[in-house]
Each structure stands twice: as C-alpha cells, then as structure tokens.
C-alpha cells in the first residue's frame, strides 16, 4: 500500500480532518478503530505511514509502537502520533517509544500532511547505500538487520531507535569526528525539508543520547556551541 495513510483512532474526527486534503495530495486514507484491526491491515500490506492518537480504546499507543519496533517487518514503518492535549508528556513518551514525529493540537490538515511528507521523505544519505555494518567505538549499526548494538564489558546491548533515529545515527557513525551544522544534518537526513527546524534534529539526538547512555556506549554525539554536532569517543574509553 505505497500511498496509504492508515489512521488508528477511536473516532472518525482525525480521519475526516485529513481526508479531503490527503486525497487531493494523492494519498489514500484508511481508518481502523483498534490496534488488532491495524495489525491485520499491516500483516497484509504495509501502509506508507501510521497516524495515531495517544490512546486507542483506552490502550496507550506507545505499547503498539513498541510492538511494531520489535518486529523486523514493521521496524521501519513510519509513525506519527497526534495528541489531543497540549501536554509535552505525550510527545516525549511517543518519541521515546519509537514514533517518528508528534504533532499537538491545534493543527491543520495541511500541517499534518506536511509532517507526513517530511517523515516519509527521510532517506539514507548517499553513503548509506552500502549494506555492510558500520562500527565506531563500541557501537555497530547493521542496515540489513536494522539493528544497532553496543558492546561494552563483554555484553551486547541493543540500542532501540525509530527509523529517523536509525538514519541519523548512521549519518554520524559513518562520519566520526566530523562536525556538522544543523542545516547540513537536515539536508542530509531529512533531505532539506523546509517545514522542519533545528529542533527536530535536537529532539532526535536527545533520544539517541539517552539510548547510548543506557547501553553504556563509549561514543557520543557531542554538541559544539553555535556550530553543530559530531560523533566522538568518550574520554577514558578509547
């Protein structure tokens, strides 16, 4: 289902909000009301993207996102969570679970479609076309298995990332010790989408850092004031 947006919502309001604009833009929009129904659709053919609310039938959406990220078939499926509240908690929880983006009310159908285009346009940088694993320090990223592993103290721990975080980490691991400005990162990983800002880069880097700390990786994405970011080895862990 190449151009299908699958909406998962208890009600039809989100579906109706984006239906006309999405169809005008060339997308097909499908609506399901439960996660089992969404899973049945996905098991038949993968949609372009899922658009979901924070809770569906009283079940946290983050649980379904984690389920999707745990399977190889759906590990890279794009997900946007639409929050009906203005709480930052929903945003942080969704992104931490592996969502690619989060949008809060109020928003227009055109803004939501812009986010859909942004997320689905995230492509590997040219160097990512190679398929063999990339390693820097204790971290190895494998594009074929879509896994990132940190090897520390004789243990292997998986670094859990959503599709955008995966591509962003690959960008840095492929170019260690190289300083990149935020707009360079946006151009390379998000293909220069003008609807995005440096905050999108900062949020994804924050999620990557949290995972790498959890896994005791000996490398990190370093911030350089007013200049950008680079991947470095941590002091004392060479």
Q: What is the pLDDT of residue 195?
A: 62
Q: Is residue 238 part of a domain?
A: no
| DSSP run (H or E) holding 13 | helix 13-24
Full residue range of the structural domain in which residue 15 is found: 4-120
Distances (CA, A) of 51 to 78, 190, 233: 9, 19, 37
Question: What confidence tens digit (pLDDT) does each residue in 11-28 have?
Answer: 888 888 888 889 888 899
8 and 116 in a single domain? The answer is yes
pLDDT of residue 167: 87
Q: How many domains does the chain have?
A: 2
What integer pLDDT is reported at residue 224 of this predicted model? 93
Co-location of 56 and 145 in the same domain: no
Higher pLDDT, residue 66 or 130: 66
99 CB burial (10 A radius; 0-12, 13-18, 19+): buried
Residue 194 has a pLDDT of 56
| pLDDT at 221 (0 to 100) | 96
Instruction: Find the mean pLDDT for residues 156-167.
Output: 87
CATH number at residue 189: 1.10.10.10
- Which of 105, 120, 135 finishes a domain? 120
Query: Which of 96, 120, 144 is where one domain is finished?
Result: 120
Quick one: 46 and 112 in the same domain? Answer: yes
Same domain, 64 and 109: yes
Q: Does one domain contain both 96 and 198?
A: no
- Kindly tell me if the per-residue pLDDT of 75 is higher than 90: no
Query: Do 9 and 96 belong to one domain?
Result: yes
The answer to the question of residue 155 being in a domain is yes
Q: What is the mean pLDDT of the chain?
A: 84
Peptide bond into 50 cis (omega under 30): no
* Gap between the Cα atoms of 112 and 78, Å rounded: 14
83 and 148 co-located in one domain:
no
Q: Which of 39-43, 128-132, 170-174 has the lowest mean pLDDT?
A: 128-132
State the first-to-last Cα distance of the chain, in angstroms, to the nearest integer: 46
Q: Tell me the pLDDT tens digit for each residue of 105-118.
A: 777 888 888 888 87
Residues 94 and 16 reside in one and the same domain: yes
DSSP codes, 65-86: HHHHHTSTTTTT-EEEEEESS-
What is the domain-level CATH number for residue 102? 3.40.50.2300
Q: Are both 110 and 176 inside the same structural domain?
A: no
187 and 81 belong to one structural domain: no
What is the pLDDT at residue 229?
95
Conformation bin of residue 151: beta by default, left when phi > 0, alpha when psi is -120 to 50: beta
Choice among 113-127, 171-185, 215-229 with the minimum mean pLDDT? 113-127
Judge if 89 and 163 occupy the same domain.
no
Mean pLDDT is lowest, of 39-43, 114-118, 190-194, for: 190-194
pLDDT tens digits along 47-58: 999 999 888 988
Does residue 197 come out as left (phi exceeding 0), alpha (psi in the -120 to 50 range) or beta? Answer: beta
Q: Does residue 188 sit within a domain? A: yes
Domain boundary among 120, 135, 168: 120
Q: Dump pLDDT digits (tens) for 109-160.
A: 888 888 888 777 665 444 444 557 899 999 999 987 888 999 977 889 999 8
Give pLDDT, residue 87. Answer: 63
At 2, the pLDDT band (50, 70, 90 cuts) reads: low
Whether 116 and 22 share a structural domain: yes
* Predicted pLDDT of residue 115: 82
């Amino acid at each position: 289902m190449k151009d299908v947006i699958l909406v998962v919502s208890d009600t039809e309001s989100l579906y109706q909000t984006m239906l006309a604009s999405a169809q005008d833009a060339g997308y097909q929009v499908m609506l399901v009301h439960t996660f089992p129904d969404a899973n049945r659709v996905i098991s038949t053919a993968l949609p372009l993207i899922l658009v979901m609310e924070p809770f569906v039938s009283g079940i946290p959406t983050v649980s379904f996102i984690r389920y999707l990220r745990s399977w190889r078939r759906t590990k890279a499926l794009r997900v946007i969570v639409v929050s009906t509240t203005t709480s930052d908690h929903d945003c942080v929880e969704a992104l931490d679970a592996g969502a690619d983006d989060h949008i809060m009310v109020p928003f227009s159908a055109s803004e939501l479609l812009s986010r859909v285009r942004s997320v689905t346009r995230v492509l590997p940088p040219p160097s990512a076309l190679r398929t063999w694993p990339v390693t820097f320090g204790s971290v190895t990223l494998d594009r074929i298995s879509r896994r990132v592993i940190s090897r520390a103290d004789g243990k292997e721990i998986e670094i859990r990332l959503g599709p955008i975080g995966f591509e962003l980490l690959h960008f840095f691991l492929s170019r260690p010790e190289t300083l990149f400005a935020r707009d360079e990162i946006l151009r390379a990983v998000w293909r220069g989408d003008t609807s995005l800002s440096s905050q999108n880069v900062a949020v994804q880097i924050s999620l990557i850092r949290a995972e790498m700390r959890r896994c005791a990786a000996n490398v990190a994405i370093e911030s350089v004031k007013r200049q950008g970011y680079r991947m470095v080895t941590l002091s004392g862990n060479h």
